[in-house]
Amino acid sequence: MPQGLEHSGTSWKGQQLKHRQSAVDRLDPRARVVAVSAFALVVVLSSDLMALSLALAGSLLLALVARLNLKRTLRRVIAMDLFMLFLILMLPFTTPGEPIFHVAGLPASQEGLVHALQITLKANAVVLALLALVGTQTATTLGHALAHLRVPDKLVHLMLFTVRYLEVIGQEYKRMRRAMQARAFVLRANRHSWRSIGYLIGMLLVHSLERSERIMDAMKCRGYQGRFYLFDDMRLTAVDVRFGVLLALFLSLLIGLHLL
Amino acid sequence: MHIVDGALSLPVLAGGAALALGGVAIGLKKMDYDHLPQVGVLSAAFFIASYIHLPLGFSSVHLILNGLIGLALGWAAFPALLVALILQAVFFGFGGFLVLGVNTFNIALPAVLVFYLCRGGIIAASPKVAALWGALGGASAIALTTILVAASLALSGEAFVLAAKATLIAHIPVMLVEGFVTGAAVLLIRQVKPEFLNISEEWDHD
């Protein structure tokens, strides 16, 4: 995969998000999570090409409304598409059916082509909707929304901790790599490189763990008893209701197209 | 290793979700609040590992580290990996949403298996033997994950069988690299902070 298309941590700073406020941010975080789940379920279960194209158009519209960073979003979506390119390209040739064209003597079936198209449309529609509705929340808000949606406490805590450590470990990793570079270490495909990276990861984990122990002690000093208090009371407003009705109409249209 | 939305059939999606849910439930039960930060660290490490691209031939592979996570966490690998996969999907569009269950199961089950298979070897008296078991754990976790990914594809339709086979072959070099890296990491952790790999032992008592 080309370097530019790899997903990188640079655009996400853990609790903060480089994201312009948009109409989507006026929606309740819980409503956004539920909306994406419903949308994903309908999209993944339908097979009508018309409905799927409409779903992709819908999520594109959502991405526009959410004012997603165009370049960053495009990079992520293309990275995902490249990821499954292999699978998609192979499908027309491995699915039996009516041949429509030949490549190097191999027949490509229409059924396979349709199936490949379906997968592409589904994957892109779901990812765009996910990035637009949930990816625009801070990870902390997402954690709180999940807690309000009755996701087990421990899992939510774990997520909040992980979000915090992502930043810490990411910085530590960069620092140690810079130190290695200063000592003229170049990553190559040999045992020395792999061993060095293994030591780097070991050291990274040890450093981070010691840090996490200090954090735990500090939290206990302040009376932590295994509970975070969620102070934000999330409330559904008229905007959420309007959005919910719109989404319900859109989803019933998709289901209708699928059943026809 | 991540499968995207739309590729798998409904029974595979539902089955994966149910199995992952079971694993996460066991993991959460075995994990107490005092160990949350440690599990969080490893969950974050899995996330960071996917940035670490090692050159290999004309292309590069990124680390997965589910073997190392399994060795350190045991069953708690399930919630740790679920959280990392949720964050990757939501904030980076990496993987999919409804396939989270399948993806979690495919990556976390090998981690748990490695914990039971290689745990004894890791605490061996000789550091060399321990590193060897670590390498074995790292490599076999990738092998098992690849087999599970291939199986989820193959179960979803005849047409995927070729792609499933290709996935298996493509991951042989990844196995090799991951084995070396995990072995070295285990060697270092044993010498610097052996408690790290004993965390889960304490958990078994409570």
Tell me: the pLDDT tens digits for B55-74? 876 677 788 899 999 998 99
pLDDT at A203: 92
Q: Using a CB-CB distance cutoff of 8 angstroms, which residues of chain A are in contact with residue B43?
A: 158, 161-162, 165
Is residue A234 packed enough to be buried (19+ CB in 10 Å), middle (13-18) or exposed (0-12)? middle
In this complex, the residue of B2, B68, B188 whose CB is nearest that of residue A203 is B188
> How much is the average pLDDT of B87-97?
85
Q: How close, in Å, is residue A245 to chain B by CA atoms? A: 23
Is residue A106 packed enough to be buried (19+ CB in 10 Å), middle (13-18) or exposed (0-12)? exposed
Is residue A110 packed enough to be buried (19+ CB in 10 Å), middle (13-18) or exposed (0-12)? middle
Decide if B45 and A139 are in contact by the 8 Å CB cutoff.
no
Decide if B45 and A201 are in contact by the 8 Å CB cutoff.
yes
Would you say B154 and B161 are in contact if contact means Cβ atoms under 8 Å apart? yes
Decide if A130 and B7 are in contact by the 8 Å CB cutoff.
no
Q: Given pLDDT bands bounded at 50, 70 and 90, which one contains residue A18?
A: low
pLDDT at A17: 55
**Better pLDDT: A130 or B164:** A130
Q: How close, in Å, is residue B117 to chain A by CA atoms? A: 21
pLDDT at B160: 85
Cα–Cα distances in angstroms (integers) from residue A133 to residues A255, B5, B148, in the given order: 21, 17, 31
Query: What is the distance between the alpha carbons of residues B45 and B50, in angstroms, rounded to a whole number?
Result: 9
Query: What is the distance between the alpha carbons of residues B113 and A216, in angstroms, rounded to a whole number?
Result: 29
Q: How close, in Å, is residue A98 to chain B by CA atoms? A: 14
> How much is the average pLDDT of A186-212?
89
**What value does the mean pLDDT of chain B take?**
87
Q: How close, in Å, is residue A6 to chain B by CA atoms? A: 8
Q: Using a CB-CB distance cutoff of 8 angstroms, which residues of chain A are in contact with residue B193?
A: 206, 209-210
DSSP B57: T
Q: How close, in Å, is residue B36 to chain A by CA atoms? A: 6
Decide if A166 and B166 are in contact by the 8 Å CB cutoff.
no
Query: What is the distance between the alpha carbons of residues A198 and B45, in angstroms, rounded to a whole number?
Result: 13
Match 């000789």 to its residue by tokens: B126
Q: Left, alpha or beta for B57 (phi > 0: left; psi -120 to 50: alpha)?
A: left
Q: Using a CB-CB distance cutoff of 8 angstroms, which residues of chain A are in contact with residue B183?
A: 198
Give chain B's domains with CATH numbers.
10-205 (1.10.1760.20)
pLDDT, tens digit, for every residue of B111-153?
999 999 998 888 887 888 999 999 999 999 999 999 999 999 8
Decide if B7 and A84 are in contact by the 8 Å CB cutoff.
yes
Token digits of residue B172:
């042989």
Residue B194 phi/psi, 5° resolution?
-65, -25
ipTM metric: 0.88
pLDDT at residue A14 is higher than 50: no
Q: Is A176 on the interface with B (CB under 8 A)?
A: no
pLDDT at A93: 84
Q: Given pLDDT bands bounded at 50, 70 and 90, which one contains residue A215?
A: confident
Q: How close, in Å, is residue B123 to chain A by CA atoms? A: 16
pLDDT at residue A59 is higher than 80: yes
In this complex, the residue of B24, B166, B177 whose CB is nearest that of residue A194 is B177
In this complex, the residue of A6, A41, A131 whose CB is nearest that of residue B93 is A131
As a whole-number percent, the residues of chain A with pLDDT over 90 amount to 31
pLDDT at residue A248 is higher than 80: yes
Q: Given pLDDT bands bounded at 50, 70 and 90, which one contains residue B1?
A: low
Q: Given pLDDT bands bounded at 50, 70 and 90, which one contains residue A57?
A: very high
Find the helix or strand (DSSP H, E) in which B171 lies.
Answer: none
- Count of pairs with CB atoms under 8 A, one residue in A, one in B: 244
Q: Nearest residue of B to residue A15 by CA position?
A: B91
Decide if B93 and A76 are in contact by the 8 Å CB cutoff.
yes
pLDDT, tens digit, for every residue of A153-165?
899 999 988 888 8
Q: Given pLDDT bands bounded at 50, 70 and 90, which one contains residue B179?
A: very high
pLDDT at residue A15 is higher than 80: no
In this complex, the residue of B41, B94, B184 whose CB is nearest that of residue A202 is B184
Least confident of A32-36, A71-75, B53-57, B79-83: B53-57
pLDDT at residue A128 is higher than 70: yes
Query: What is the distance between the alpha carbons of residues A93 and A259, in angstroms, rounded to a whole number?
Result: 28
> How much is the average pLDDT of A206-221?
86
pLDDT at A242: 92
Q: Is A142 on the interface with B (CB under 8 A)?
A: yes
Q: Is A203 on the interface with B (CB under 8 A)?
A: yes
pLDDT at residue B201 is higher than 50: no
In this complex, the residue of B47, B54, B87 whose CB is nearest that of residue A193 is B54
> How much is the average pLDDT of A120-133?
91
pLDDT at residue A13 is higher than 60: no
Q: What share of chain B is helix, strand, coil (3-state, %, to 5)?
A: 80, 5, 15
In this complex, the residue of A134, A152, A166 whose CB is nearest that of residue B44 is A166
pLDDT, tens digit, for every residue of A135-146?
888 888 888 899
> How much is the average pLDDT of A28-53?
92
Find the helix or strand (DSSP H, E) in which B196 lies.
Answer: none
In this complex, the residue of B49, B53, B181 whose CB is nearest that of residue A194 is B181
